[in-house]
């Protein structure tokens, strides 16, 4: 199975997933398990048969899809700074996902913008562009991602032996400054999950 992972478009994309779906990804079966570090399989949910015994047979379910990069969105509920990294917990309403943000490796976009306000939320999409607040790393940029901040995180999921759950090692963190951006991020994730459940072939 691993020989065909590279031709699947979502293998090289940051797949938009909810925390609950990310936590439910399954490890590849042997022999791929031994060297598939950082790769898990998304299995489309099964669909029950309707219409009684006379209903036509259902088509076969789509095959499992390899996931090596993800994009999650939610609210920061925990922020623990360390010497060289910050450990965040992101809550998207379905689950809480651990995120590791290294100072020298992750770009933080929008860290220099003012905190969200009622007037910012009212402006919605017409508010200031998040990218305009800076896109660097470092302790100061990461420190701007405080409790209650809405963010979008791009990164690689990591499963550690003996550690429950999944940790996303961030390559980019974008701070959201309006309610409209938060709603749009959740809607994009939902659209991607529906698409994947139907066997879609792309998820950028």
Q: What is the pLDDT of residue 203?
A: 42
Q: Are 10 and 200 in contact (CB under 8 A)?
A: no
pLDDT at 170 over 90: yes
Read off the pLDDT of residues 41-97 as tens digits, 9 standing for 90 and up. 888 776 554 555 566 666 666 778 889 999 999 999 999 988 888 999 999 999 999
Q: How many residues does the chain have?
A: 204
Q: What is the pLDDT of residue 168?
A: 93
Whole-structure pTM value? 0.76
Q: What is the DSSP string of 126-148?
A: GS--GGGG----SHHHHHTS-TT
Q: Which of 8-12, 24-28, 54-58, 99-103 has the lowest mean pLDDT?
A: 54-58
C-alpha span between 88 and 97 (Å, rounded): 8
pLDDT at 191 over 80: yes
Give me 94's structure tokens.
């379905």
Sequence-separated (6 or more) residues with CB below 8 Å from residue 93: 18, 74, 186
Alpha helices (H) along the chain: 19-23, 118-123, 139-143, 179-197
Paired strand residues for 176: 150
Sequence-separated (6 or more) residues with CB below 8 Å from residue 146: 76, 79
Q: Are 108 and 78 in contact (CB under 8 A)?
A: no
- Which CATH code for domain 8-42+65-197? 2.40.50.140
Which position has the token pair 């020298």? 104
Q: Are 83 and 6 in contact (CB under 8 A)?
A: no
Of residues 13 and 36, more confidence is placed in: 13
pLDDT at 124 over 60: no
Q: What is the pLDDT of residue 38?
A: 75
Mean pLDDT of the residues in the chain: 76
C-alpha span between 56 and 49 (Å, rounded): 9
* Strands annotated E in 29-69: 40-42, 65-67
User: Hey, where are the domains in the chain?
Assistant: 8-42+65-197
C-alpha span between 5 and 87 (Å, rounded): 30
């Amino acid at each position: 199975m691993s020989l065909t992972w590279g031709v699947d478009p979502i293998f090289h994309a940051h797949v938009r997933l909810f925390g609950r779906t990310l936590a439910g990804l399954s490890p590849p079966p042997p022999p791929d398990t031994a060297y598939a570090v950082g790769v898990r399989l998304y299995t489309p949910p099964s669909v029950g048969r309707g219409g009684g015994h006379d209903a036509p047979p259902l088509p076969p379910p789509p095959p499992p899809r390899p996931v090596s990069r993800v994009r999650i969105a939610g609210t920061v509920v925990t922020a623990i700074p360390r010497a060289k990294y910050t450990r965040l917990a992101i809550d998207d309403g379905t689950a809480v996902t651990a995120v590791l943000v290294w100072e020298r490796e992750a770009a933080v976009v929008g860290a220099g913008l003012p905190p969200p306000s009622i007037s910012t939320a009212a402006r919605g999409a017409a508010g200031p562009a998040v990218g305009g607040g800076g896109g660097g790393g470092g302790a100061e940029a990461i420190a701007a991602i405080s409790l209650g901040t809405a963010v979008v995180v791009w990164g690689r999921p990591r499963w550690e032996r003996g550690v429950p759950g999944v940790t996303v090692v961030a390559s980019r963190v974008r701070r959201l400054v309006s309610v409209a951006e938060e709603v749009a991020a959740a809607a994009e994730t939902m659209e991607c999950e529906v698409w994947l459940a139907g066997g879609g072939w792309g998820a950028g």
